[in-house]
Amino acid sequence: MIYLDHNATAPVRPEVRAAMLPWLDGQWGSPSSIHAPGRRARQAVEDARRTLAALLRVHHGRVVFTSGGTEANCAILLGTLAGCGFAGEVIVSAIEHPSILEPCRLLARRGVTVRLAPVSGDGRVDVDWIAANLTAETRLVSVMHANNETGVLQPIATIGAACRARGVPFHVDATQSVGRIEVDLEELPIDFLTLSGHKFGGPKGVGALIIDRQRPLQPLLVGGGQEWGQRAGTENVAGIVGLAAAVTAVAPNLPVEAERLAGLRTVLERAIMAALPECVIFGREEVRLPNTTCLGLEGLDGATLVMNLDLAGFAVSSGAACSSGKVGFSHVLRAMGVAEPLGRGALRVSLGWSSRPEEIEQFTRRFVPVVERLRKMS
């Protein structure tokens, strides 16, 4: 099986597995215990916090470990608005992940006004719209760094600057970008940031929310007081160590690896466009993550295409494939104004650390006959 679905999850890196094993086998202390096994676990968690903080260039006191991107996103939205008595407004983009859009629906039911920022036909969030819609009632703006379906990078520096000018807190869901491209919080005007370990070779079920200590958040999980009271519950020590090991693996190599993946993606897109010139590459005119391509083939069904590629030995995904079994027309492509017959045939191919040139070559060789066969059948 050739795995080309890194935006769903990446294979766990061997060095991550090796770093985690001692914390599952032998070193099982709780970081809250004051005896020696507990102190060792605490040290491991704090070392991991510093490793992650160094990658993002933030103070380690801003790192709150979570169970992943979903929890961090829910924590920032629900926590910020709970602190405001569920009064006021939030602005998020129309192409956010469901872990942003669903808590927004909950907030709307509690009386919060939720405004959805539109995007261009190429999937770029409208900065001017956001700047024009900031009011004295805006409690939070949340825009993702890289879209999980198209890979389009959003103008977070400009949005952050507009928010700073109005004193509005700005959150960025960087689940798809951290570990793949540089995210420098010393440079960027961002107050809160979400990341997740499993998109770049760490384990599933661990991530972090970068907080702003000057802007206290009402915690989602309360009870044990861990993570400075921001996230109660005994820490996932092995997972946190694994996340840090993934950071250590990617950090020295980010630009080189990004260039390698962008090169592979160019080969893939050129080969497909040469054989199927009617194919649309969503967000092609925008700056994108180096690893992602989202293709549209009118008249085909994305899920059928994925199943047939699966039978041919390739793991890719269609539309919004983050949640299992989800088929249909993605809200991202809809927001971009993509017509339904084209959007339903959307296919996402996402590369990563395990991707090799021969895999791309095999994929492009098999892809075209699969498409042609499906077209004949439909």
The catalytic site residues sit at: 322
Name 64's bridge partners: 209
Smallest gap from Cβ 162 to ligand PMP, in A, equals 21
Q: Would you say 68 or 179 has its CB closer to ligand PMP?
A: 68
Q: How far apart are CA 300 and CA 327, in angstroms?
A: 13
Instruction: Tell me the residue type at 214.
Output: Q
Smallest gap from Cβ 37 to ligand PMP, in A, equals 28
Collect all residues with Cβ–Cβ distance below 8 Å to 344 and sequence separation of at least 6: 300, 301, 302, 319, 328, 329
Smallest gap from Cβ 118 to ligand PMP, in A, equals 18
User: In 3-state terms, what secondary structure has residue 170?
Assistant: strand
Smallest gap from Cβ 320 to ligand PMP, in A, equals 9
Smallest gap from Cβ 112 to ligand PMP, in A, equals 20
Q: Which residues bind ligand PMP (CB under 6 A)?
A: 68-70, 73, 97, 99, 144, 148, 173, 175-176, 196, 207, 322
Q: Would you say 97 or 331 has its CB closer to ligand PMP?
A: 97
DSSP state of 140: E
Distance of CA 171 to the CA centre of its chain: 13
Place of tokens 């066969």: 373
Q: How far apart are CA 18 and CA 221, in angstroms?
A: 30
Structure tokens at 220: 């989602």
Asked if residues 262 and 307 have their Cβ atoms less than 8 Å apart, the reply is no
Smallest gap from Cβ 99 to ligand PMP, in A, equals 5
Q: How far apart are CA 300 and CA 21, in angstroms?
A: 44
The residue with its CB nearest to ligand PMP is: 69
Name 315's bridge partners: 3
Structure tokens at 117: 């920022």
Structure tokens at 98: 């469901």
Q: How far apart are CA 375 and CA 76, in angstroms?
A: 45
Place of tokens 């769903």: 8
Residue 357's closest CA among 288, 263, 245, 243? 263
DSSP state of 5: B
Smallest gap from Cβ 154 to ligand PMP, in A, equals 11
Locate the DSSP E strands across the chain.
2-3, 63-66, 89-93, 113-117, 138-144, 170-173, 192-196, 207-210, 280-281, 292-296, 314-315, 317-318, 346-350
Smallest gap from Cβ 173 to ligand PMP, in A, equals 5
Collect all residues with Cβ–Cβ distance below 8 Å to 106 and sequence separation of at least 6: 78
DSSP state of 198: G
Q: Would you say 191 or 279 has its CB closer to ligand PMP?
A: 191
Q: Would you say 88 or 202 has its CB closer to ligand PMP?
A: 202
